[in-house]
Amino acid sequence: MNELEKVENYDATHLNSNATQINSPTHDVDIEKGQFSGSHGASGSTTPQVAHSATGQNEKENDFDSASSSSQTEDDIGFAPISTHQTQPPHQPRPMSRQSHNTTFSHISRSRSNNGFGVDDLEDEAEKEEEGADAEAAAARSGAGETIKDEEEKRFEVGWEGGDADPLNPRSMPTWRKWIIIAVLSIGSFAVTHASAIYTATYTQMNAEFHCSRIVATLGLSFFVLGIAMGPFWSPLAEFYGRRPIYICSFAGFLIWLIPSAVAKNIQTMIIARFFQGLAGSAFLSVSGGTVGDLFSREKFQLPMAIFALSPFIGPATGPLVGGLINTFTTWRWTYYFLIIWAGVLLVCVMVLVPETYHPVLLKRKAVNLRKTTGDNRYHAPIERTTKSVASTLGNSLMRPFQLLLLEPMCLILDVYSAVLLGVLYLFFGAFPLVFRTNHGFNLWQVGLTFMGLGVSMVLAGCITPVWTRVRNGLAEKRFKKTGIMKGEPEDQLPPVIVGAPLITGGLFMFGFSTYPWVHWIVPIIGSSIFGLGMSFAFTGIFTFLVDAYPRYAASALATNALVRCSFAAAFPLFGIQMYEKLGFQWATALLAFLTLAMLPFPYLFFVFGKRIRARSKFATRS
């Protein structure tokens, strides 16, 4: 028998085998006799290969599959490769590809956040390109057996019936219940950041009791903020256990670590306890923002997200006032008794009022229930097909932020800018008492009132959020008139930063050069409020730009920003008082203003040239 006859006989046998598969879904196909094997890229797509033993024709097909697989990025969300040396029974569906079920995937996409910015439902051009590559690879498949497996995979993959209208979908909850959840989580985020600043009002009494210097006591503030900096690295745990366990464990840990501060006998105990308070509270901060995306679609979540995003920034502005009132009329330990009571009530509210909202975990529960009630083990949720481990996921969450910081100039510069701003805010916790006590004779609670200028400006910034939405829509419409394509760009998120940058610098100069005893105390407060307004604009624009410019790595981009930002916020208070005493109130503040002046052009430069920079980026989306 010549070679041609061998090939024809093989093809006839193979077609008969496929026909048998169609009629009998439980039939196993032997790999050595021509089974289709899966070569999975990182995105979860499958590229079939046919093992022809009699000819060398399939070498080209294998080369094509190898190139298709290697074109996928390992960083994308996906599944582990399936071995080609084992037989896979048809009743165990292979992992879902994006192309086969992208409708469900858009509702259950992984989300993480920091300080209230979720990463749900984000789709970028790079992912769409990869989906196109998946579609081409799928079109290259041959054999009816593979098609049967795909159909079975789709049929038994659990999703939302009717999309957001599914009764088990958190987005189908009554509006009043959604807002109760948002209120509890917003107050919780506010409480954590409030606890960071309320500590500054205890210095006078606590230092006298512990016989420590002001700089040593300031370490309690710095270590708390360092603990918050670790928060984004906890958020991957939500992928495996859901959001509710993180909320409960986080706030329970926050409550427990408040107790050592309330009964501390030395400054060492206080500093250590403060670090773990920040660490425990940070997990709550980094995960809870994603709940907004769980509850509201992208068309409706602007208002709840604006309210939630505002809460962690108002906390530091109100801390000195509440702490000042407590420490003026009672002992410093009541500062922590107050926080313990507050945290206890919030923990009960979280346990009673906040259900699990993370879509992949809820779909997993739905699949488990279907398997139990029907007895059919083929029902599965997408999260059950992942082979990622907790250790590997945490490892990636630790590594990638540093890659973005070192390799992405836009990410680095915007992170440093936002870090300087938060550092200045925390430096004010030492500078305000120094300025207003020295120049105007304010007492402790009156000094706390001076921070209200910052608080009011942050609320005002939240109210102006719809204006920036209209600006972004206007830029998209202008682009549509030129190109005929209605599409936004990440740079459309930068106008708030462009407007906020001169307000930041101008507000600091106004505050600095109005810190004379003969200038009315309201003038530096107005200057600080202008700074706060610009800072809020800048944070809003920077966070949303990072999410839009790095959609596939949005969680890592926000984690990088949080790490750099909180590191500066921890360091600035340690030298703030010495700087103000050595340089004087005016020039110490002017030095901070000049730092922001040096950073002022970058938001505009990124607005103009950002698209070109992204075109050369390894991580950013390409328009």
pLDDT of amino acid 308: 79
pLDDT of amino acid 387: 66
> Cβ-count burial of 487 within 10 angstroms (0-12 exposed, 13-18 middle, 19+ buried)?
exposed
Binned at pLDDT 50, 70 and 90, residue 92 comes out as very low
Most confident of 232-236, 402-406, 590-594, 610-614: 590-594
pLDDT of amino acid 113: 41
pLDDT of amino acid 366: 81
pLDDT of amino acid 373: 84
Element (H, E) at 47: strand 46-50
What is the rounded CA–CA span in Å between residue 32 and residue 21?
16
pLDDT of amino acid 198: 94
Binned at pLDDT 50, 70 and 90, residue 75 comes out as very low
pLDDT of amino acid 154: 66
pLDDT at 209 over 90: yes
pLDDT at 472 over 50: yes
Give mean pLDDT, residues 549-562: 78
Contact in structure between 512 and 587 (CB atoms under 8 Å): yes
pLDDT of amino acid 195: 94
Domains and CATH numbers, the chain: 156-387 (1.20.1250.20), 388-622 (1.20.1250.20)
pLDDT of amino acid 71: 38
Q: Which pair of tokens denotes residue 341?
A: 């009571």
pLDDT of amino acid 149: 57
Tens-digit pLDDT profile for residues 300-338: 766 787 787 788 888 898 999 999 999 999 999 999 999
pLDDT of amino acid 380: 74
What is the rounded CA–CA span in Å between residue 192 and residue 288?
12
Binned at pLDDT 50, 70 and 90, residue 145 comes out as low
> Cβ-count burial of 69 within 10 angstroms (0-12 exposed, 13-18 middle, 19+ buried)?
middle
Output DSSP code: residue 170: G
pLDDT at 272 over 70: yes
Contact in structure between 424 and 599 (CB atoms under 8 Å): no
Tens-digit pLDDT profile for residues 437-470: 999 999 999 999 999 999 999 999 988 888 888 8
Give the mean pLDDT of the chain. Answer: 76
What is the rounded CA–CA span in Å between residue 167 and residue 242?
19
Tens-digit pLDDT profile for residues 17-58: 444 443 443 333 333 333 333 333 333 333 333 333 333 444
pLDDT of amino acid 483: 79
pLDDT of amino acid 442: 93
Q: Residue length, the chain?
A: 623
Q: How much of the chain, in percent, has pLDDT values that exceed 90?
A: 38
What is the rounded CA–CA span in Å between residue 580 and residue 214?
14
pLDDT of amino acid 151: 64
Most confident of 65-69, 121-125, 133-137, 417-421: 417-421
pLDDT of amino acid 384: 66
The helix-helix angle for 522-549 and 452-463 (nearest 10°) equals: 40
pLDDT of amino acid 285: 79
* 171 vs 238: which has the higher pLDDT: 171
3-state secondary structure 250-307: HHHHHHHHHHHHHHCCCHHHHHHHHHHHHHHHHHHHHHHHHHHHHHCCCCCCHHHHHH
Give mean pLDDT, residues 175-187: 91
Q: Which pair of tokens denotes residue 547?
A: 């999410």
Q: Which pair of tokens denotes residue 102?
A: 């992208």
Binned at pLDDT 50, 70 and 90, residue 299 comes out as low
* 614 vs 6: which has the higher pLDDT: 614
pLDDT of amino acid 91: 45
Binned at pLDDT 50, 70 and 90, residue 490 comes out as confident
pLDDT at 220 over 60: yes
